[in-house]
Chains A and B, each alone.
Chain A
């Protein structure tokens, strides 16, 4: 029994042990630098592979939801499609408009990808497997996320074309509007955990009462916070149903209309990596990071749980993309400012009340009503406020 437990804990820490073993061959002066380089390389390789897998998964998933096959020619079930896509984007001609601002046009995708990858530095992927354990880890994550908006603007403005600029303005307005509910929804967790460090937040959720884990998802304010966080994350990543800035049927491709070849692939990569990073943060804050769902499943290595939860969230993203129609710009803005902002503030109040009522059935009841009742009232009130106007037509005189 204990032999099995030892083997499982070694499997759990296999990456940590491997890196220690590799580093022991180096002189002591070089070890911190090389350990950092090793971890960064591992993260980049792992998540770039996940990106390739997700593009395939998305096209197959969307295809099936739309009652058609996805790509199925390249390799078994189309599994080598990402490789074909990569080869295509690398070999395409890189067209830059003559009137474009070349320096900014070049820097924009680079900044986007760099900002997206920086967010992984504070995500705990497994037990003892975080790149940097910052004291203000969650703040670092949101700071880096706000760098992406600047990259989007640079892309749209430097192309000097109407569609790009329009798409960029819409995208930035959407991203800064949804950054507020995103941060507020995560503050609830920070209030409860008492720390901004991601490792501390995950460690708080890694305990069990009976077989149920102490994830923040299983509390009323945690559930509401998770739903709000996921909606805001979908909007931050410019994904359907919030993909008006890159809507293919409306403004061609929005802020990356004028990009071709490898730079377009970099934009694609940056968006998806940003989506994975925000999902990873949602997992860390609400879903317990690398901890197992039930106490009898803790023998499975921790990083497998993290990637399983990440894949579940990606599947949910793809599912929502295939199901819901796109939101118009004013509907998008109204959702952010009139619905999600009051809901996140009420969620904060609920979490505060949860903290002060002693544990038991009372606080479950009180907090659940505090979350559900305003949700029903607000959503119905906002729906009934829309006045339907008589449709008028203006003809040119």
Chain B
């Protein structure tokens, strides 16, 4: 419960703060909270991967991008664009619909099912036997993303000289 409050507070702060770097740091707190939830649900591998990828890479990438676009000074008010009330209302409506759907549904299994085993051995087996095609496609996708990101963000001024 405390963890849920912390995570939600982190994400609300991430969406509401003025300073972009503070937003990313609060978001990192939210990511760490979600990773703790994964560990609580028994998915060890996914929890540690979440910390490694999101906190260790995506957050740092976002921070680098903020630095390079000179956004590290606090933004002038308003921190959000003019139709911000519409966006907030839309998000609140989405949450209302989802919450109603969740609360009014009857769960199919009323008792707690036993903890499914997810050792790293089993994950590796599944990745190599049943999910080998998504794994290879993922490798291809990551390579394409790597090359694409480098090409797009490359400084073209050297070519124009």
Contacts and interface: CB of A to CB of B under 8 A. Distances in A.
Interface of A: 104, 134-136, 139-140, 142-147, 149-150, 153-154, 157, 165, 169, 172, 176, 179, 194-196
Contact of A144 (B44, B45, B51): B51
Interface in B35-86: 44-45, 48-49, 51-52, 55-57, 59-60, 63-64, 67, 72
B60 A176 contact: yes
A146 B56 contact: yes
Interface in B103-145: 119-121
Given A135-B45, A145-B56, 15 more contacts: A134-B44, A135-B119, A135-B120, A143-B48, A143-B51, A146-B56, A147-B51, A150-B25, A150-B28, A150-B55, A157-B63, A165-B67, A176-B60, A194-B121, A195-B121
A165 B73 CA distance: 14
Contacts of B55: 143, 146-147, 150
Interface residues of B, number: 22
**Dominant secondary structure at the B interface:** helix
B42 to A, nearest CB: 11
Contacts of B67: 157, 165, 169
A156 to B, nearest CB: 10
A142 B52 contact: yes
B72 A139 contact: no
A308 to B, nearest CB: 30
Contacts of A154: 25
A194 B59 CA distance: 31
A143 B53 CA distance: 8
A236 to B, nearest CB: 12
Given A157-B72, A169-B67, A196-B120, A136 B57 contact: no
B23 interface: no
Most buried by B among A144, A153, A176, A179: A153
Contacts of A135: 44-45, 119-120
B14 interface: no
A147 B56 contact: yes
> 4 tightest A-B contacts by CB?
A146-B56, A143-B51, A143-B52, A139-B48
A176 B121 contact: no
Contact of A136 (B21, B64, B120): B120
B45 A139 contact: yes
A150 B21 contact: no
Nearest to B46: A136
A139 B124 CA distance: 14
Contacts of A176: 57, 60
A146 B57 contact: yes
Most buried by A among B57, B63, B64, B72: B63
B120 A150 contact: no
Contacts of A143: 48-49, 51-52, 55-56
A136 B56 contact: no
9 contacts: A104-B21, A136-B45, A139-B45, A139-B52, A139-B120, A146-B55, A153-B63, A176-B60, A179-B56
B48 to A, nearest CB: 4
A142 B64 CA distance: 21
Contacts of A145: 56
A134 B44 CA distance: 8
A179 B53 CA distance: 12
A139 B49 contact: yes
Given A135-B119, A135-B120, A136-B45, A149 B21 contact: no
Given A150-B59, A157-B72, A172-B60, A136 B48 contact: yes
Contacts of A104: 21-22, 25
A140 B48 contact: yes
Contacts of A150: 25, 28, 55-56, 59-60
A143 B52 CA distance: 4
A147 B56 CA distance: 6
A349 B22 CA distance: 43
B27 to A, nearest CB: 11
Contacts of B28: 150
Most buried by A among B51, B52, B59, B64: B52
A228 B59 CA distance: 27
A164 to B, nearest CB: 13
A136 B44 contact: yes
A196 B44 CA distance: 12
A355 to B, nearest CB: 14
Contacts of A142: 52
